[in-house]
Every structure is written in structure tokens, then in C-alpha cells.
Amino acid sequence: MLQQIFDKLRPSFEEGGKLHAFRSVFEGFETFALVPSETSRSGVSIHDAIDSKRIMSFVVIALLPALLFGMYNIGYQNAAAAGALATTGCWEMFLYGFCVMLPKIVVSYFVGLGIEFAVAQWKKEEINEGYLVTGLLIPMILPVGTPLWMMAVAVAFSVVFAKEVFGGTGMNIFNPALVARAFLFFAYPTKMSGDNVWLSKDTWFGLGHVVPDTQTMATPLGEAAAGRMADISFADMLVGLMPGSVGETSVYAILIGAVILLVTGIASWKTMLSVFVGGGLVAWLFNMGGMDNAVAQIPWYEHLALGGFCFGAVFMATDPVTSARTECGKYVYGFLIGALAITIRVLNPGYPEGMMLAILFMNMFAPLIDWCVVQGNINKRAKRMEK
């Protein structure tokens, strides 16, 4: 059935057809609906059933728990700020969050995939699935208060300058989602941190509550950076009903995603584990060091549960393209991300979160780590020759 529909449509998208300008879009949808029946010509006759579509789809699935919780949390924070927690139902909170997030996701995909389709058409290549993940990640790592147009600009910037100029998915040096965030962070700092961005203050389709503009809300890390210890228990941190970027607050929801990624083997447990080891160890050292700094005094396990640490460790650090590619390298890479993230948190007074910069920084150094590992193998071979 599907096959017949595509067969009927195909001629108009082929060279000389009326809709040739949309060939990449057509192909994108066709391969989405039907597994290509192209068979191998050289090399192996049979192939593993895995392909990058499935890999990316599973990452998206792994992101869903954190996204759904994030939606609920948007509604929860809105109700909490309006002082209407008791009168607002769970579903109402979730639907409110859903309505807030949906335009963001749509805009992110529309802008990003639009550019991807255009580039694929221009280079006569197939569409890469990488943006399916990036496009969902971007709204999830931004504060809920980021205006849509700002996100659209950031998406366009990161897809073009962090990905396509390098040659597309698989060739990029920096994680595109984090580049989008970093772009906003440096271009519009007031919209990315502070006390006034973590709350959705308007009503949507009659859902939610109008919150006065003067009402503000800080993340626990933000409070600690300002010298106040946040009034939140460790158990609450794990649940995640607190202000923060949309997807990052709930450790439990991220944990479900982590389990999906690790069981399917899509993310490297080596990277993930060593991020936590590195972060935990450095946070513990700061705890021991007795610095006169509220962030340094946050217990090490709370450090790991707060801010974007878990989200970054599970979904960002493990990006196979921008992380270290050698197995030994993954330990070093992950460890340094964790260590740097906590160091930035503690020592940088200007900004309370360090995960984004730590990962971007290590993205830059991942090739160097790999170079050292590969060079070890090369030296071994050279030595063998001298014998």
C-alpha cells in the first residue's frame, strides 16, 4: 500500500519533475516509512538490521521520560508560583507544560530540519537523522522562558555553523545542541540565567495561571551561587520538582533514559560512568577543602543531582560523534567532563552551572585524547619494527 503511494509520487520528485526541489524531503519521508529495498553491490551481501535511523529513534525514546516530566514540571512551577498548587490538578499541570513546550519543539524541528533538508538537497545527499535528537535536545536544555525567536536563531546558528560547515552529522566537532545553548548564553545572557527565566508566566488556552512579572524563582545552584543554601532535600532533587532547564531537573526521569541507552548499547557506559566519577571526586575534594563558598559546600552527591549534570552526563557527553572515539579515551574524556563541570560551578562566580562549558571544552579536546591513545598503538608498531 505505502509502496504504491510512494511509487506514484516519485516521478514528480525526480530530475525534471515538478517538485524536484523537494527531492530530499520526499526521500526523507520515503525512507522513514519504508526500509529501502536497495541491495548491496560489493562487499558483504548481508547487513545487520541496525541503521542510524533506529539509533537516533532510540535516543529520542530515551529522552521522552525527561521531556514528559519537564512538561509536568513547567505546569507545577507555574502553579507553585501562583500559589495555586492545591487547586491545580496533575493533568492540568502537564497539559499546560505540554502547550508551552509544543511550539518550542515544533519551531526547533521546523528550523533545524528545514536547513537539513535544504543542505541535503543542495549536496544531493540523504537526510541525516542526527537532527531528530538535536532538535528535541535544544528545547529541553533551555530555560522555559527563552523566547521562540531566540531559539530559532540559535538553532539556525548551530545547525549551520556547528554541523553543516563541518560536513554534517558525524563530522562535527562540537555537540550542536550545546552550541545552540552556548550561543544563547553568550548572545543573550539575561535570558539564559538569573532568577527570571525559569518560570512560564502566561496562560495557554486557558490553562495555567498568570504570574506577576515581579515573581522570580532561582535554581538551587543559582541560590547557592548567591551564597544561600537552597531549601531542598536530596530526595526532592532526585524527583526534580524544582526550577531548571526543562529536561534537566528529574534524576529519575533521566535515569530511565540512561537505562534505555545503556541496555541498547547506544551510549557508552564508560563515558557515562566516568563523568559521574570525575564529578563526584572533584566535588568531594571541594567538600574536604573547606573553601568559604556555598557551592563548594554542596555535598558531592547533591552536586551530581543538581543542575544539568545528570542530563549532560547521560545525553550530551555520550554523543558518539563529539566524544572520544577510543575505548580508553572515553574514560579520560568522561572523567574530565565531570571534573571540569564541578570546578566551573565552584570557582566561576558569574554563572552557577558548568556542565555545558565542560562538555563543549572536552569536545574540543576529545581528538587530542584519541590522538594520544592511537599514538600508543602507532608507537608500539614502530618499536616492533626496530627489533
Partner 1 sequence: MEQTIKLRRGLNLHLEGEAQKVVRQLPQPAEVAVRPTDFTGLTPKLLVREGDEVVAGQALLTDKQSGRIHIPSPIGGRVKSVVRGDRRKLLAVVVESVEKADATLSEGQGAVQEGSLVERLCQAGLFCFFRQRPYDVVASPDDTPKGIFISTFSKMPLAADFSFVLKGEEEAFKEGLKALATIAPVHLGICTCQEKLLGGLDALENVTVHRFDGPNPSGNVGVQINHVSPVNKGEIVWTLRPQAVIFIGRWMQTGRVDLREKVAVAGSEVAEPQYVETILGAPLRDLVGTVGAHQRVINGNPLVGEKAGADDFLAAFVSEVCVLPEGDDVHEAFGWILPRLKQHSTSRSYLSWLMPGKKYAPDCRIKGGKRHMIMSGEYDRVFPMDIFAGYLIKAIITGDIDRQEALGIYEVAPEDFAVAEYVDSSKLELQRIVREGLDILRKENA
Segment lying near partner 1 (by CB under 8 A), choices 17-25, 51-59, 154-162, 350-358:
51-59
Q: Is 354 helix (H, G, I), strand (E, B) or coil?
A: coil
From 8, 15, 39, 214, residue interacting with partner 1 (rule: CB under 8 A): 39
The answer to whether 24 contacts partner 1 (rule: CB under 8 A) is: no
The answer to whether 124 contacts partner 1 (rule: CB under 8 A) is: no
DSSP 165: G
Q: Which three cell numbers stand for residue 283?
A: 566535588
The answer to whether 190 contacts partner 1 (rule: CB under 8 A) is: no
From 196, 216, 264, 297, residue interacting with partner 1 (rule: CB under 8 A): 264
Segment lying near partner 1 (by CB under 8 A), choices 15-23, 234-242, 265-273, 355-363:
265-273
From 265, 289, 299, 349, residue interacting with partner 1 (rule: CB under 8 A): 265
Q: Is 130 or 176 the residue whose CB approaches partner 1 more closely? A: 130
Q: Which residues contact 286 (CB under 8 A, 6 or more apart)?
A: 293, 296, 300, 342, 346
For the four alpha carbons of 344, 348, 349 and 350, in that order, the dihedral sign comes to negative
Q: Is 86 or 385 the residue whose CB approaches partner 1 more closely? A: 385
The per-residue DSSP string of 357-381 comes to HHHHHHHHHHHHHHHHHHHHHHHHH
Segment lying near partner 1 (by CB under 8 A), choices 150-158, 178-186, 305-313, 375-383:
375-383
Q: Is 258 exposed, middle or buried (0-12, 13-18, 19+ CB in 10 A)?
A: buried
Rg (CA), the chain: 23
Distance of CA 271 to the CA centre of its chain: 15
Tell me how far apart the alpha carbons of residues 69 and 54 are, in angstroms, rounded to a whole number.
24
The answer to whether 86 contacts partner 1 (rule: CB under 8 A) is: no
Segment lying near partner 1 (by CB under 8 A), choices 199-207, 209-217, 282-290, 373-381:
373-381
Residue listed under C-alpha cell 496562560: 203
Could you tell me the smallest distance in angstroms from the CB atom of residue 280 to partner 1? 25
The answer to whether 374 contacts partner 1 (rule: CB under 8 A) is: yes
The answer to whether 8 contacts partner 1 (rule: CB under 8 A) is: no
Q: Is 41 helix (H, G, I), strand (E, B) or coil?
A: coil
- Would you give the binding string for partner 1 spanning residues 131-170, x where CB under 8 A is met? ------------------------------------xxxx
Tell me how far apart the alpha carbons of residues 314 and 318 are, in angstroms, rounded to a whole number.
6
Could you tell me the smallest distance in angstroms from the CB atom of residue 248 to partner 1? 25
Q: Is 13 or 198 the residue whose CB approaches partner 1 more closely? A: 13
CB atoms within 10 A of CB 345: 30
Least Cα distance to 61 among 226, 277, 264, 346 occurs for 264
The answer to whether 121 contacts partner 1 (rule: CB under 8 A) is: no
From 40, 190, 205, 227, residue interacting with partner 1 (rule: CB under 8 A): 40
Tell me how far apart the alpha carbons of residues 179 and 352 are, in angstroms, rounded to a whole number.
18
Q: For the segment 295-334, give every residue that binds partner 1 (CB under 8 A).
A: 320-321, 323-327
**Which ranges constitute the DSSP H helices of 84-242?**
90-123, 130-140, 148-157, 176-187, 220-225, 234-239
Distance of CA 386 to the CA centre of its chain: 47
The answer to whether 377 contacts partner 1 (rule: CB under 8 A) is: yes
Q: Is 35 or 229 the residue whose CB approaches partner 1 more closely? A: 35
Binding-site residue total for partner 1 (CB under 8 A)? 57
Q: By the criterion CB under 8 A, which residues form the site for partner 1?
A: 2-3, 31-55, 57-58, 126, 128, 130, 167-171, 263-266, 268, 320-321, 323-327, 374, 377-378, 380-382, 384-385
